[in-house]
């Protein structure tokens, strides 16, 4: 039930709880499978990209769009998916975007040109709403303590899938080609669809109204245009007309979105809710911590693959480089659900403080010891601990503050914030490396990587400044479980 009659009136919501108790595993397991399927696809394409370019005679610029198209589509459509879930049912919306994800993978598997692969990857990006819909379903179906555990476990899938994607994608591509990678994605998606359809109960939380299509177009443009500029800026040139033009288009669209959403009776994003204390704190922490996490995700495999002739490289292959992210995957998988389970006992502030501190400390370890294999492994493991603790709390902060019928869109905004942070951190890291490359050398100076890690530690550590403002909350009653 909502927290008060006022919440019910303000959200214009009809809420009916399932008549029978719901087992936690019945809800959590299929949502975890869906999250892993999507998260793995984010990075499994990276080692397959050279194979796609050779097989389809594609230029590096065309190949880059295979990644950029997915990334931009995912960011632009996440809030829309969340809002549709709020209106028509989160389970139904999740099944729909998983279906689109599988359709996109099928297009890629059957592709005869790089254009078809790009189109398929853009369609696959529609599944960016998997995580916000999963978080909202957990809150709708389970008591707060079990939902928090599930959110911690599923949030760990974001990092686990991303880290496992590169070595898994490389292995499958080496043995079966890029087509085998996409056919495998089709198979996993079908399994996820079946488990969600069979096991996850239909949610009965709805919000009345209509789809704010003007807001949807504006948010897709406002996010898609600048993210494309940020992703392609290094190739086009930061002062090129295309880069500057897309940044301007994005800024204008976001300004227009703000005005449209203020006046809409059924806005895509409730701006007043974005200003709620725990909601803006969740978004601020998501950006700051993800910025630091993005530095490690980008640079650790890169350092591992640099030749030993460079200042800092270890000279290993792509498969081995991916294994240096394994400690992050394992610690995230452990600390995500553990943190979620401990939230009812220790509250929301302590995990965010511990996660932010651990993230910053891990980046400091990487800055000091990145030239040593053990330094990379220890730093990567600490980053995973920080991610597990921090990201398990964020959906709980949001779901505690936002009425049940608007949690999909609110969690979608938080997911977008993380996408934006990753995009910006990647380009900031690249700029530091470029300007720190000695004349005549093909490799950046080792100190440049240390500077990137230090910057990530500083930005991630800023999350500690907002944590004291977190508002504690009395646990909300929910459906029973057994």
Determine the average pLDDT of the residues in 240-259.
Answer: 91
Determine the average pLDDT of the residues in 460-474.
Answer: 81
Residues sharing a CB contact under 8 Å with residue 277, sequence separation 6 or more, in sequence order: 401, 469, 470, 471
Cα separation, 147 vs 246, in Å, equals 40
Model pTM score: 0.80
Q: How confident is the model at residue 477 (pLDDT cuts 50, 70, 90)?
A: very low
Q: How confident is the model at residue 479 (pLDDT cuts 50, 70, 90)?
A: very low
Per-residue model confidence (pLDDT) at position 318: 66
Residue 405 has pLDDT above 60, yes or no: yes
- Stretch (H or E) spanning 15: strand 13-15
Cα separation, 264 vs 52, in Å, equals 44
Residue with the bigger pLDDT between 283 and 426: it is 283
Q: How confident is the model at residue 20 (pLDDT cuts 50, 70, 90)?
A: low
Cα separation, 417 vs 285, in Å, equals 10
Per-residue model confidence (pLDDT) at position 205: 66
Residue pLDDT, tens place only, 31-52: 999 999 998 888 888 778 888 8
Q: Which has the minimum average pLDDT: 106-115, 129-138, 261-270?
A: 261-270
Q: Secondary structure of 171-225 in the HEC alphabet?
A: HHHHHHHHHHHHHHHHHHHHHHHHHHHHHCCCCCEEECCCCCHHHHHHHHHHHHH
For the structural domain made of 19-207, what CATH number should be given?
Answer: 1.20.1250.20
Average pLDDT, the chain: 83
CB-CB contact of 76 with 225 (8 Å): no
Residue 415 has pLDDT above 50, yes or no: yes
Residue 85 has pLDDT above 60, yes or no: yes
Per-residue model confidence (pLDDT) at position 96: 95
Residue pLDDT, tens place only, 347-363: 888 999 999 999 999 99
Residue with the bigger pLDDT between 71 and 5: it is 71
Residue 179, both tokens: 């087509």
Residue 385 has pLDDT above 90, yes or no: yes
Q: How many other CB atoms are found less than 10 A from the CB of residue 19?
A: 8
Per-residue model confidence (pLDDT) at position 482: 37
Residue pLDDT, tens place only, 111-127: 999 999 999 999 998 89
Per-residue model confidence (pLDDT) at position 281: 93
Sign of CA dihedral 313, 373, 458, 35: positive
Residue 141 has pLDDT above 70, yes or no: yes
Give 240's DSSP letter: S
Grouping H, G, I as helix, E, B as strand and the rest as coil, residue 14 is strand
All structural domains of the chain with their residue ranges: 19-207, 212-267, 270-472
Cα separation, 100 vs 333, in Å, equals 27
User: Do 270-472 and 19-207 fall under one CATH topology?
Assistant: yes
CATH of 270-472, one of 1.20.1250.20, 3.40.50.10490, 3.30.390.50, 3.90.960.10: 1.20.1250.20
CB-CB contact of 406 with 135 (8 Å): no
What is 284-348 written as a DSSP string? HHHHHHHHHHHHHHHHHHHHHHS-TTSSS-----HHHHHHTTHHHHHHHHHHHHHHHHHHHHHTT
Per-residue model confidence (pLDDT) at position 227: 81
Per-residue model confidence (pLDDT) at position 224: 83
Per-residue model confidence (pLDDT) at position 472: 67
- Please identify which residue in the block is written with the tokens 């869906």: 34
Residue 417 has pLDDT above 70, yes or no: yes
Per-residue model confidence (pLDDT) at position 144: 82
% of the chain with per-residue pLDDT over 70: 91
What is 127-140 written as a DSSP string? GGGHHHHHHHHHHH
Per-residue model confidence (pLDDT) at position 93: 92
% of the chain with per-residue pLDDT over 90: 29
């Amino acid at each position: 039930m909502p927290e008060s009659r006022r919440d019910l009136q303000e959200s214009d919501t009809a809420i009916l709880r399932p008549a029978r108790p719901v087992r936690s595993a019945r809800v959590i397991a299929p949502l975890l499978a869906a999250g892993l399927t999507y998260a793995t696809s984010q990075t499994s394409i990276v080692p397959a990209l050279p194979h796609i370019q050779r097989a389809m005679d594609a230029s590096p610029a065309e190949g880059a769009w295979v990644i950029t198209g997915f990334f931009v589509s995912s960011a632009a459509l996440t809030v829309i998916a969340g809002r549709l879930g709020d209106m028509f049912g989160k389970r139904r919306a999740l099944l729909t975007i998983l279906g689109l994800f599988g359709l996109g993978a099928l297009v890629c598997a059957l592709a005869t040109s790089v254009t078809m692969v790009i189109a398929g990857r853009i369609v696959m990006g529609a599944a960016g709403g998997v995580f916000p819909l999963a978080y909202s379903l957990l809150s709708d179906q389970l008591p707060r303590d079990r939902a928090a555990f599930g959110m911690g476990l599923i949030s760990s899938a974001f990092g686990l899938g991303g880290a496992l994607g590169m070595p898994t994608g490389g292995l499958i591509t080496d043995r079966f080609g890029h087509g085998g990678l996409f056919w495998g994605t089709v198979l996993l998606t079908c399994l996820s669809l079946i488990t969600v359809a069979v096991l996850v109960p239909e949610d009965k939380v709805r919000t009345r109204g209509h789809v704010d299509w003007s807001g949807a177009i504006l948010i897709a443009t406002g996010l898609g245009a600048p993210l494309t500029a940020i992703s392609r800026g290094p190739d086009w040139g930061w002062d090129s007309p295309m880069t500057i033009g897309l940044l301007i288009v994005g800024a204008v669209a976001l300004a227009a979105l703000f005005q449209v959403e203020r006046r809409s009776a059924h806005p895509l994003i409730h701006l007043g809710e974005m200003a709620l204390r725990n909601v803006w704190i969740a978004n601020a922490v998501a950006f700051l911590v993800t910025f630091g996490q993005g530095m490690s995700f980008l640079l650790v495999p890169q350092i591992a693959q640099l030749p030993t002739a460079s200042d800092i490289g270890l000279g290993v292959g792509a498969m081995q480089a991916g294994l240096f992210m394994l400690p992050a995957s394992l610690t995230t998988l452990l600390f995500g659900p553990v943190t979620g389970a401990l939230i009812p006992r220790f509250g929301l502030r302590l995990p965010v403080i511990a996660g932010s501190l651990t993230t910053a400390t891990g980046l400091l370890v990487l800055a000091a010891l990145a030239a040593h294999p053990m330094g990379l492994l220890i730093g990567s493991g600490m980053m995973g601990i920080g991610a597990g603790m921090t990201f398990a709390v964020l959906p709980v902060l949001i779901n505690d503050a936002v009425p049940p019928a608007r949690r999909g869109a609110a969690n979608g905004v938080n997911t977008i914030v993380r996408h934006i942070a990753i995009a910006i951190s990647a380009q900031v890291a690249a700029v530091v490396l470029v300007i720190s490359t000695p004349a005549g050398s093909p490799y950046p100076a080792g100190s440049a990587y240390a500077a990137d890690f230090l910057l990530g530690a500083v930005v991630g550590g800023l999350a500690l400044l907002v944590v004291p403002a977190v508002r504690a909350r009395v646990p909300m009653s929910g459906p029973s479980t057994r």
